[in-house]
Amino acid sequence: MADELWVGTSWKMTKTITQGRAWAREVAAVPVPDGVTAFVLPPHTALAAVRGCVPPGHRLLVGAQDAHWSAENEWTGEVSVQQVADAGADLVEVGHSERRLGLGEDEDVVARKVRAVVDFGLVPLLCVGEPAAVRQAGAHVDHVAAQVTSALALLEREEVYDVLVAYEPVWAIGPKGAPAEPEDVAPVIAAIREAVGRSAEGASALGVLYGGSVTRDNATAMVSGAGVDGLFVGRAGWTARSFLDIVSMVGRHAGDR
């Protein structure tokens, strides 16, 4: 298990720059508890503005929800890792299921993006997770382990220590999702740790997080009962108050470990 616990939110396709600043000022006014690192992934449009609201030394990192794998110029509409770094990103989410399933991002693209993020010295937040049908067929552990293996395929062993992994079962995400229970999550987290070790000669990831319908109601149970190194929150992170509450729940767990 990682020494540090992580708790972050992706705003997905929400918030104007003004709304993003208001959230960031409220969150950055409160210190992140010892033993915890927090992060927020605004849309690209608000990244620099949000970064500008976080005082130096505050343990709220800022990241991007995606970045292109190429360093070449000819990719109309895309944003490179270098550009999100320039806007203030410390980390970059890669391979969210909304991109894999809704935008056709395949394993090869995910692996290239992980490689590009590491090349630029930022932390990849690799998302993996099975659709409902795969879970129902009992194939979820193998499915997720295979996603991890292929996503890390272009990294050297030492680079794997800088990768965050988020297990996000597709059936648990979003307003139509059914929240997972810690016992649904724990075996997959263990399998992710094994898959990381197998693909990188015994190396471990920076952290293995859980995401999917995390709220104030289930955050403590999930962080204490699923063997995770933290939580990756969607909707429940979109208001500053709710995000701060979840951060402090994770902080209390960090203090108890």
Catalytic residue IDs: 96, 168
Bridge partners, residue 38, by sequence: 7, 60
Cβ proximity to ligand PGA: between 66 and 200 the closer is: 66
Q: Which of these, 224, 227, 226, lies nearest to 252 by C-alpha position?
A: 224
Of 110, 126, 155, 214, the residue at the interface with ligand PGA (CB under 6 A) is 214
Alpha helices, H only, the chain = 17-28, 44-51, 81-86, 97-102, 107-119, 132-136, 140-151, 182-199, 219-225, 240-256
Of 5, 6, 10, 218, the residue at the interface with ligand PGA (CB under 6 A) is 10
Q: Which of these, 58, 55, 50, 56, lies nearest to 10 by C-alpha position?
A: 50
Bridge partners, residue 102, by sequence: none
Q: Where does residue 90 fall: left (phi above 0), alpha (psi -120 to 50 degrees), or beta otherwise? A: alpha
Of 213, 222, 228, 254, the residue at the interface with ligand PGA (CB under 6 A) is 213
Q: How many residues of this chain interact with ligand PGA, rule: CB under 6 A?
A: 14
User: Which residues, other chains included, contact 173 with Cβ-Cβ below 8 Å and sequence gap of 6+?
Assistant: 97, 98, 129, 211, 212, 213, 234
Of 88, 212, 230, 251, the residue at the interface with ligand PGA (CB under 6 A) is 212
Q: Is 65 in the site for ligand PGA (CB under 6 A)?
A: no
Q: Is 130 in the site for ligand PGA (CB under 6 A)?
A: no
| Rounded least distance, CB 52 to ligand PGA, Å | 25
Of 33, 124, 169, 211, the residue at the interface with ligand PGA (CB under 6 A) is 211
| Rounded least distance, CB 197 to ligand PGA, Å | 25
- Radius of gyration over every alpha carbon of the chain, rounded to an integer in angstroms: 17
Which three-class secondary structure state does DSSP give residue 95? coil
| Rounded least distance, CB 150 to ligand PGA, Å | 20
Cβ proximity to ligand PGA: between 131 and 197 the closer is: 131
Cβ proximity to ligand PGA: between 207 and 234 the closer is: 234
Cβ proximity to ligand PGA: between 168 and 184 the closer is: 168
Cβ proximity to ligand PGA: between 33 and 234 the closer is: 234
Write each residue from 155 to 184 as x if it is in contact with ligand PGA (CB under 6 A), else as -, in one continuous string: -------------x----xx--x-------
- Sites for ligand PGA among residues 181-210 (CB under 6 A): none
- Quickly count: other Cβ atoms within 10 Å of residue 42's Cβ: 30
